[in-house]
Amino acid sequence: MRASGPRLEFWYELASTYSYLSAMRIEAVADEAGIDIVWKPFVLGPIFNAQGWSTSPFNIYPAKGRHMVREMERLSAARGLPFMMPAPFPQNSLNAARLALIGHEEGWGPAFARAVYTAQFADGEDISDRKVLGKILGDLGRDPAPLLARMEQPDIKQRLRQQTEEAQELGIFGAPSFLAQDELFWGDDRLEQAIARLTKP
């Protein structure tokens, strides 16, 4: 990480289709712009609940959901990324998000996030499954058992709750969201605008 360069906060949800698109490209885009990314995993469930939704708006509003699936197919194909809809959608991403918090402390967070997205959207695996998560950790060269144990600790659960509350306080209502200084940008398609906010003041 650069000593004092501009930093973009990348608020992502591991069950979010459009967050997948951003996670797979954000470091290349940021490197080119000379900025650092601060990865901020959170979960949308409590934020959706606060809006009166019990599941993803893509399930509640079927026309919106159909458009999202078709668009993900188009955008993934254009970017050379695999894409399939996981079942069920959205996946329960709580455990994965807790591990991501640990990973961002320890330096393997971005690679872990990308591997979770690949398991889910390329391979159709269940990212709430401890076996799936353990395999991802092992493939990254980490020892799964202590990390899966730490994932269950109250302090990690509490940190994810706090980070999700912070998202809500920032006005975040969907994912991915980008915070460039005090400006909030929503959606993978706004990544370039968020970066321009930092690099062309």
The site for its own copies (CB under 8 A) is made up of 51, 61, 63-64, 66-67, 70-71, 74, 168, 171-174, 183-186, 189, 193
For helices 94-106 and 154-169, the axis angle rounded to 10 degrees is 90
Between 136 and 172, whose beta carbon lies closer to its own copies? 172
Between 108 and 178, whose beta carbon lies closer to its own copies? 178
User: By C-alpha distance, which of 92, 77, 66 is closest to 13?
Assistant: 92
Asked whether 66 and 57 are in contact (CB, 8 A), the reply is no
Between 147 and 167, whose beta carbon lies closer to its own copies? 167
Residues 6+ apart with CB under 8 A from 138: 144
Tokens standing for residue 106 = 């320890």
Could you tell me the smallest distance in angstroms from the CB atom of residue 28 to its own copies? Answer: 21
Asked whether 172 and 52 are in contact (CB, 8 A), the reply is no
Between 50 and 145, whose beta carbon lies closer to its own copies? 50
Between 138 and 171, whose beta carbon lies closer to its own copies? 171
Could you tell me the smallest distance in angstroms from the CB atom of residue 186 to its own copies? Answer: 6
Could you tell me the smallest distance in angstroms from the CB atom of residue 72 to its own copies? Answer: 13
Asked whether 184 and 177 are in contact (CB, 8 A), the reply is yes
Asked whether 38 and 197 are in contact (CB, 8 A), the reply is no
Could you tell me the smallest distance in angstroms from the CB atom of residue 166 to its own copies? Answer: 14
Q: What torsion do the CA atoms of 17, 41, 141, 126 make, to the nearest 10 degrees?
A: -40
Could you tell me the smallest distance in angstroms from the CB atom of residue 180 to its own copies? Answer: 11
Between 132 and 194, whose beta carbon lies closer to its own copies? 194
Distance (Å, rounded) from C-alpha 177 to C-alpha 193? 12
Could you tell me the smallest distance in angstroms from the CB atom of residue 55 to its own copies? Answer: 14
For helices 26-33 and 191-199, the axis angle rounded to 10 degrees is 20
